[in-house]
Structure 1
């Protein structure tokens, strides 16, 4: 089957959209940041038409927002969106962990993420610690062996990073959870997935309350 020009543009736009999503997950693109169409198209080596398709895809996913006569901005999560993110995380992560196999390949990734977070903590790289934390939770979802869940959770991770990006102290946000991640991992490796899931449920409750309290202080909601 011959690919049309539209197919090529759409495929390229999807690839670039994934790349920009990764930059959001990495904390490089922060909430409220205005994206210059001219500068970004030149940086990415794509046409402005292709970039507009990228913007459309990421706006559809809630990661960007378009303001008439002002341009395109990285989205700023609302309190309702944060609550919904945690609701979704509980529905996905807790069952995946409870039923997780201790020798699953994803457990190696969980280990790597915790080790990485501890190393970055020693360097004072708290944005990097946040990225490692997201890698840890992505690996938890991978325990379910569902490519569809993996793809869906990548979107959730990007939205979570936007929520984290609203706060001024990434150390305060991420420091308490490095050891919690290690504890969850140890319970899973010991063959007690339900105990690991129980620890994760408590973890998510504390994380949600802390994030909501910080968000409320920031926005006055």
Structure 2
């Protein structure tokens, strides 16, 4: 299975969803998580209604759901745009991740199939690192952390993580000026999987907690530097 496939809609038979607002929100959320919709992109009601085969009312229902998740924002008289998360959104993302992900690896018992899927993800990440492909490293990172939460077997937690992954992808775009951001987290992902394979969930959880702390600090530092550059009066 490809890394992108791990982020795709597991049920491609759209006819069974009756084109509900919740399903449309899930489709758009996954497109954002895959990097197909970037911060600042305008979401055209006309184009999306036609491509998804849904009414504008259904689409507006989906937009309301995503706006509540801070994934899109409505701008009066201009339309709906993919959001660009700021520092407080980053802090909230990592509050959620610290509670979910270390617990997922600490209290789960991965099957061989789940471990093989993780092995494939980190192998893809290493190949992407060697090729210098930032988008592919980001894809692998998203897929691994989705797989971590899937270890819980909880559909509610996986839905929550799906929302977090969409927000994370938007945050990653802020790091486009720091292409090495993903590079030094590849080895940590490898270490997490290695500890799970060795039957050391506590060690995996410890690595993951440090990983999340460091990633949050790096992202906040970068966002702060961007803000200072954009507004020299803050110096």
1:70 equivalent to 2:78? Answer yes
Deviation at 1:105, TM superposition (A): 4.0
Match status 1:54 vs 2:54? no
Alpha-carbon displacement from aligned partner over 1:161-180 (angstroms, at most 9, x marks no partner): 11112222363221111111
Deviations 1:192-216 (A, max 9, x none): 1101111111111111111111111
Which of 146, 164, 185 is the matching residue for 1:177? 185
Structure-2 residue corresponding to 1:15 = 23
What residue ranges of structure 1 are gaps of 5+ in the alignment?
Answer: 1-7
What TM-score results when the alignment is normalised by the length of structure 2?
0.83
What are the superposed Cα offsets for residues 29-64 of structure 1, whole Å, 9 maximum, x if unpaired?
111222222223233333333322221221122211
Offset, 1:112: 2.0
Q: CA RMSD in A?
A: 2.1
Q: How far apart, in 2, do the equivalents of 1:111 and 1:122 lie?
A: 17
Match in the other structure for 1:3:
none
Rounded to whole Å, the distance in 2 between the matches of 1:23 and 1:148 is: 20
| Aligned partners of 2:17 and 2:23 also within 8 Å | no
User: Which whole-Å CA distance do the structure 1 matches of 2:156 and 2:95 have between them?
Assistant: 18
Aligned to 2:197: 189
Unmatched runs of 5 consecutive residues or more in structure 2: 1-15, 229-233
Return closer, same or farther for 1:9/1:23 CA change in 2, 3 Å cut-off.
closer
Q: Whole-Å Cα distance in 2 between the matches of residues 170 and 15 of structure 1?
A: 34
Q: Does 1:129 align with 2:137?
A: yes
Residue 154 of structure 2: aligned partner: 146
Q: TM-score, normalised to structure 1's length?
A: 0.88
1:61-100 equivalence runs, <5 A: 61-100=69-108
- Residues 202 and 9 (structure 1 numbering): CA distance in 2 closer, same or farther, change over 3 Å? closer
Q: Is the 8 A contact 1:34 1:74 kept in 2?
A: yes
- Mapped contact 1:116–1:132 kept (Cα < 8 A): yes
